[in-house]
């Protein structure tokens, strides 16, 4: 570096660091008043990104006059040229005239930056962004101030914001991909730690969502996030992310099919049967599905469960039934509860009297899951009426499939319940006590349960949907 006529000249081949040092030395001299006359042009490049800065221009607010806009443009040209004294003289009246104008503020920020006042520049850039969050020049200036910062999160947020305003910015293409990977890894470690520590679903989902913001195109990360959210009980976030993987063009075929099925199952859990059917039909039409035997079985199981959506008219009439039938109860249990996720029965259900039943596939699901039983002669008797005792028995069976430990606890406590017409040695005593304790079926004030009375459709619907919500299947 040599000094010629009060001007610092920098050899560009010396690299980025010497150029920066030269810039700040020159700036300190200028700030200290080394020049007693309008400063000449400073032909140096303070940042590797300065060429990009020179291509920008401050954007004035709508209230600035045409004359003021011209003055702002000329001030910016002087700042870019390094004629800082002249730029300061030209910009000063504008700062008095329009102190809150975003174009004036961002230009003043770069004047402060080139004059060796980074803290003042930072304050001006922040004021600009408060007034105009989408101001590219101020966003760039705020970013340049922290390019060497060790605060990865702050740098990532600034780079991301600039990328949204100008994706073609050279500093974005050069810096953001590598930084995004580092930030995503740090955030992912935090999310996994929360998932392992049994934190509630929203906290786990929020941590994974932060990691996904850094790596929005990673199908693997979205799938991991979906499965973690589902395990933590956040079904809404899980379905959102399963859907994202299913629609992601870079996801593998297995990832897409698996995620689509998971999303369809969650839609069915939420009783959005039509949407679930639409997604399932698309999956079944995909020829690649046949290459994954486990996914075929899973799709077939969901198809049986969704049969209720195809029979919506008959299903809707269950609530109005004066006496609920076994096929109606099976349909309720299969549609509202579904099969236990970790206890899928691979053995076929062989019942000889289902040919004329509208709920044949749902009966097979309910029997296969262990909620209802076949008779010894391999009949189901679809149109047989269900007593309150039998309803209690099936509800207890469902509860036990999902939470056996809670079932044992409820059974141990059943002897304390006063049931005047269900003595301790009654066949349905334990099941009735469990259903009553869980609030699934009502007992009269006198302790009367009426186990042999036929259950109504409304009573069955209420009991099954209450159990569904209790198990978190909604």
- Domain ranges, ordered by start, for the chain: 1-148, 176-308, 317-470
The pLDDT value given to residue 417: 74
- Asked if pLDDT for residue 37 goes beyond 50, the answer is no
Q: Residue 263 and residue 268: Cα distance in Å, rounded?
A: 9
Intrachain domains 1-148 and 176-308 with the same fold: yes
- Spell out the CATH class of 1-148: mainly alpha
pLDDT of residue 411: 74
Instruction: Give the pLDDT confidence score for residue 331 in this predicted structure.
Output: 92
pLDDT band at 339 (very low <50, low <70, confident <90, very high): confident
Residues 6+ apart with CB under 8 A from 34: 6
Residue 45's pLDDT is: 37
Give me the chain's average pLDDT, please: 83
The DSSP secondary-structure symbol of 415 reads G
pLDDT cut 90: percent of the chain above it: 46
Has residue 22 got a pLDDT over 70?
no
- pLDDT at position 1 over 70: no
State what percent of residues in the chain have pLDDT above 70.
86
pLDDT average, residue stretch 402-420: 78
| 4 DSSP β-pair partners | 7
pLDDT, tens digit, 9 for 90 and up, residues 112-156: 988 889 999 999 999 999 999 999 999 999 988 888 788 888 989
Average pLDDT in the 220-247 region? 92
Specify the pLDDT at position 40: 38
Q: How does pLDDT run across 71-98, given as a tens digit for each residue?
A: 999 999 999 888 999 999 999 999 999 9
* CATH number for the segment(s) 176-308: 1.25.40.10
Q: Exposed, middle or buried: residue 198 (CB in 10 Å: 0-12, 13-18, 19+)?
A: exposed
**pLDDT tens-digit readout, 350-399:** 899 998 888 888 899 899 999 999 999 999 999 999 999 999 999 999 99
Looking at residue 146, its pLDDT comes to 87
Residue 344, pLDDT score: 54
Judge whether 269 and 235 are in contact, CB under 8 Å. yes
- How much is the pLDDT for 110? 93
Residue 34's pLDDT is: 39
Query: What is the average pLDDT across 154-171?
Result: 88
> What pLDDT is attached to residue 206?
92
User: Is a pLDDT exceeding 50 seen at residue 2?
Assistant: no
Residue 319: predicted pLDDT: 92
What is the structure's pLDDT at 279?
Answer: 92
Q: What is the DSSP letter of 318?
A: G
Q: How many Å apart are CA 348 and CA 365, to the nearest integer?
A: 10
């Amino acid at each position: 570096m040599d000094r010629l006529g009060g001007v610092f000249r920098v050899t560009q081949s010396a690299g980025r660091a010497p150029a920066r040092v030269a810039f700040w030395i020159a700036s300190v001299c200028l700030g200290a008043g080394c020049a007693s006359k309008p400063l000449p042009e400073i032909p140096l490049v303070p940042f590797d990104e300065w060429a990009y800065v020179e291509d920008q221009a401050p954007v004035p607010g709508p209230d600035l006059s045409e004359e003021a806009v011209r003055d702002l443009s000329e001030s910016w040209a002087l700042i870019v040229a390094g004629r800082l004294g002249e730029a300061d003289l030209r910009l000063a009246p504008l700062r008095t005239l329009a102190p809150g104008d975003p174009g004036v503020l961002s230009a003043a920020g770069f004047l402060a930056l080139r004059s060796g006042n980074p803290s003042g520049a930072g304050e001006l850039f922040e004021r600009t962004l408060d007034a105009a969050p989408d101001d590219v020049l101020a966003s760039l200036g705020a970013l340049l101030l922290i390019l060497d910062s060790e605060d990865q999160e702050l740098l990532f947020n600034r780079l991301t914001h600039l990328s949204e305003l100008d994706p073609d910015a050279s500093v974005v293409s050069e810096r953001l991909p590598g930084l995004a990977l580092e930030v995503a890894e740090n955030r992912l470690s935090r999310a996994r730690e929360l998932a392992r520590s049994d934190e509630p679903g929203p906290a786990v989902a929020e941590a994974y969502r932060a990691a996904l913001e850094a790596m929005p195109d990673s199908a693997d990360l979205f799938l991991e996030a979906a499965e973690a959210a589902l395990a933590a009980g956040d079904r809404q976030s899980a379905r959102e992310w399963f859907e994202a993987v299913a629609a992601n063009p870079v996801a593998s075929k297995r990832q897409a099919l698996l995620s689509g099925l998971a999303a369809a199952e969650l839609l069915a859990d939420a009783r959005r049967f039509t949407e679930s059917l639409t997604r399932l039909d698309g999956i079944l039409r995909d020829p690649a599905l046949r290459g994954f035997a486990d996914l075929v079985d899973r799709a077939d199981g969901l198809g049986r469960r969704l049969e209720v959506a195809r029979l919506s008219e008959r299903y809707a009439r269950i609530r109005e039934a004066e006496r609920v039938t076994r096929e109606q109860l099976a349909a309720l249990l299969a549609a509202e509860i579904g099969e236990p996720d970790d206890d899928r029965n691979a053995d076929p259900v062989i019942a000889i009297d289902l040919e004329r039943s509208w709920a044949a596939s749902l009966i097979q699901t309910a029997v296969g899951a262990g909620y209802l039983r076949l008779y010894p002669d391999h009949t189901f008797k679809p149109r047989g009426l269900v007593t309150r005792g039998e309803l209690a028995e099936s509800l207890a069976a469902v509860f036990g499939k999902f939470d056996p430990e809670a079932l044992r606890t409820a059974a141990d406590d059943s002897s304390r319940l006063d049931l005047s017409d269900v003595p301790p040695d009654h066949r349905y005593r334990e099941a009735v006590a469990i259903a009553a304790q869980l609030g699934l079926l009502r007992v009269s004030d006198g302790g009367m349960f009426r186990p042999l009375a036929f259950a109504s459709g409304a009573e069955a619907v209420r009991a099954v949907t209450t159990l569904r919500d209790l198990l978190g299947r909604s």
